[in-house]
Amino acid sequence: MTCSCSVCSLSPASADACLSSPMNFVHSECCSVWITESAFGRRFDYRPKTDPYCQARYTFCPTGSAVPVMKEEDVIEVYRLQAPVWEFKYGDLLGHLKIMHDAVGFKSALTGKNYTMEWYELFQLGNCTFPHLRPGMDAPFWCNQGAACFYEGIDDAHWKENGTLVLVTTISGAMFNEMAKWVKYDNETGIYYETWTVQASPDKKSTVWFDSYECSKFILRTYQKLADLGAVFNKVQTNYTSIILFSGEPIYLGNETSIFGPQGNKTLAAAIRDFYYPFKPHKTVREFFVDLLKIIDRVILNHEFYLFYNLEYWFLPMKFPYLKIIYEEVPLPVGSKASVGV
């Protein structure tokens, strides 16, 4: 029997009724299977061109260069790099909240050269987290691609002053070259940044409805690839930042075409646009606080959140504590027989 997931095209206030009706309950079980399959970053066949409308305040990867081919007998030191987000602008301000950015560094024994590799938003964090509502366009417009950036040099002061620069393993040049092939695959097929992790509760064993796809996840994938290639990691504690939303079972709503297209649901489309409106950039302090009250009303008082994930929209029935920033350890990996990626 084929399991098809029904689309709840109801208003947010009717979401509970949608899942509580006997007919929809069967479909909601199917949705659970769908959620499990959709909970992690989807792989794509290619990276689409970015729309000229999407503009970055700070140029993406301004000093980027091609990944070099190392001599197989080279010995490469691998460094864990971590610093507060936007440290270049705000110093350690976000470090006090443990909102950290992660990268990885390499140093060649044969050439003495060192390199930095990281993965982050093409058009800054705000654009990846919330869409633009453009005049004349029904659907929210997203500028949410992320990509890998590789460049020569490690800015010691940047990573050491308010963060971390520590040796985690040593690999051969041959292993580095294999990793570089994997990075190319990973970068071409994992293309959309996702800020939020969505969980059922703060309990560590709770259901993860959706996992984030951001800088730290790229570093974790890179470490795992190196472990699969034979790297043995030092005993170093490695903590990472997660921004978590807490929600009951998500309700699948549809994709851009099914919601905002000619045959779409105008009521649902209007509800999604209305939800995202207060998250727009603000020109005045008064405007910011007015919209902040609207966000609190929707997310906390009315338990509503609309999530865009893997090109699909989901309704999240929010629950206490609604949002939490955590900074927890994810241990360095050990190798596995099944190699990641290529």
- Is pLDDT at 17 greater than 70 in this prediction? no
Residue 338, in any domain of the structure: no
Name the residue range of residue 96's domain. Answer: 12-329
The per-residue pLDDT for 98 is 86
pLDDT band at 282 (very low <50, low <70, confident <90, very high): confident
Report yes or no on 7 lying in a domain. no
Catalytic residue among 8, 18, 31, 101: 101
- pLDDT at residue 211 greater than cutoff 80: yes
Higher pLDDT, residue 335 or 112? 112
Q: Is the pLDDT of residue 340 over 50?
A: no
Q: What is the 3-state secondary structure (H, E, C) of the chain?
A: CCCCCCCCCCCHHHHHHHHHCHHHHHHHHHHHHHHHHHCCCCCCCCCCCCCCCCCCCCCCCCCCCCCCCCCCCCEEEEEEEEEECCHHHHCCCCCCCCCEEEEEEEEECCCCCEEEEEEEECCHHHHHHCCECCCCCCCCECCCEEEEEEEECCCHHHHHHHCEEEEEEEEEHHHHHHHHHHHHHHHHHCCECECEEEECCCCCCCCEEECCECHHHHHHHHHHHHHHCCCCCCCCCCEEEEEEEEECCCEEEEEHHHHHCCCCCHHHHHHHHHHHHHHCCCCCHHHHHHHHHHHHHHHHHCCEEEEEECCEEEEEEEEEEEEEEEEEECCCCCCCCCCCCC
pLDDT band at 40 (very low <50, low <70, confident <90, very high): low
Would you say residue 215 has pLDDT above 50?
Answer: yes
38 located within any domain: yes
Q: Identify the band that residue 187 occupies on the pLDDT scale cut at 50, 70 and 90.
A: very high
Q: Which residue has the higher pLDDT, 89 or 342?
A: 89
169 within some domain: yes
User: What is the percent of the chain where pLDDT is above 70?
Assistant: 85
User: Is position 30 annotated as part of the catalytic site?
Assistant: no
Domain count, the chain: 1
Average pLDDT estimate for 161-176:
95
pTM of the model: 0.85
Q: How much is the pLDDT for 204?
A: 87
Q: Which of 8, 18, 143, 215 is catalytic?
A: 215
- The answer to whether residue 101 is catalytic is yes
Residue 337 lies in a domain: no
In a domain, 1, yes or no: no
- For residues 323-334, give the mean pLDDT: 94
Instruction: Identify the residue with better confidence: 8 or 313.
Output: 313
Q: Is residue 340 part of a domain?
A: no
**Residue 3: pLDDT above 90?**
no
Kindly state whether residue 200 falls inside one of the protein's structural domains: yes
Which percentage of the chain shows pLDDT scores above 90?
Answer: 74
pLDDT at 322 over 80: yes
**pLDDT band at residue 161, thresholds of 50, 70 and 90?**
confident
The band of 93, judged by pLDDT with boundaries at 50, 70 and 90, is confident
